[in-house]
Amino acid sequence: MKLLLSQLTILLLVLVQQTSAFYLYVTGSDRKCFSKELSKDTLLSGAYSLQVYNSDSQTYRDVIGDEISLVIDVEEVFDDNHRVVHQTGSAVGDFTFVALDSGEHKICFQPQSGGWLAKTKSKLDIQFEIGSKLELDSKKKGTVANLHAKVNILNAKVSEIKREQALVRERESIFRDKSESVNARVAWWSIIQLIVLAVTCVWQLRHLRTFFVKQKIL
């Protein structure tokens, strides 16, 4: 019975956790992206290795020092390609990302280099795992990194909300100023109308009084 339960547990872990490994070729600083449907609280953990093409040996070699770096972006396609991750790392490294909302995400890689490497060819090997936070981080090795990534995502969303609030306040201020200006003009126009009406009444009364005097009514 215990053996059967252990086998079922291993089978479930294999089914839930997804491991993918692939490589792609990049020319210069071209941006390569792929899409992935992620559910909320899904953790994407990846490791990458970047190599540059050696024309002399016609093979790909490891990067020396910091001659080339890699920019990693994660964007929420369902939220108008809102960028939630933007990090620049060395030629060899890893990254983690926790999906805050369910939907299609776009993961992009872009090598950055200068000098004679600006137009060179490069090979990017990527291996990533997709699963729940507890399954992919059971040994607690990436807890700090995951929390840091999640805090960065929350900070980005808070900054976006603050910008939207500032824009709303600015529009409200403009609308309030226009409303006050219109109300002031309406008030002055009402006062002018009252003054004209009063002057007209006085003039008509004086005219009638003069008319009545001439007609010897008064």
Domain limits, the chain: 2-141, 143-218
Predicted confidence at residue 143, as pLDDT, reads 60
Percent of the chain with pLDDT over 70: 79
Task: Name the band, by pLDDT with cuts 50, 70 and 90, for residue 67.
Answer: confident
2-141 CATH fold: Jelly Rolls (2.60.120)
Task: Name the band, by pLDDT with cuts 50, 70 and 90, for residue 15.
Answer: very low
Condensed to tens digits (0 to 9), the pLDDT of residues 202-217 reads 888 887 777 777 766 6
Task: Report yes or no: 17 and 130 within 8 Å, Cβ to Cβ.
Answer: yes
On average, the pLDDT of the chain sits at 78
Q: What backbone torsions phi and psi does residue 165 show, to the nearest 5 degrees? A: -65, -40
Structure token digits, residue 141: 């090795």
Element (H, E) at 207: helix 143-214
Q: If you average pLDDT over residues 166-191, what whole number do you get?
A: 88
Question: What's the CA gap between 40 and 60, in Å, rounded?
Answer: 38
Torsion of CA 31, 37, 38, 44, to 10 degrees: -40
Predicted confidence at residue 135, as pLDDT, reads 52
Length of the chain: 218
Residue recorded with tokens 């137009």? 119
Task: Report yes or no: 72 and 87 within 8 Å, Cβ to Cβ.
Answer: yes
Task: Name the band, by pLDDT with cuts 50, 70 and 90, for residue 139.
Answer: very low
pTM score above 0.75: no
Task: Report yes or no: 89 and 50 within 8 Å, Cβ to Cβ.
Answer: no
Q: How far is CA 14 from the centre of its chain?
A: 33
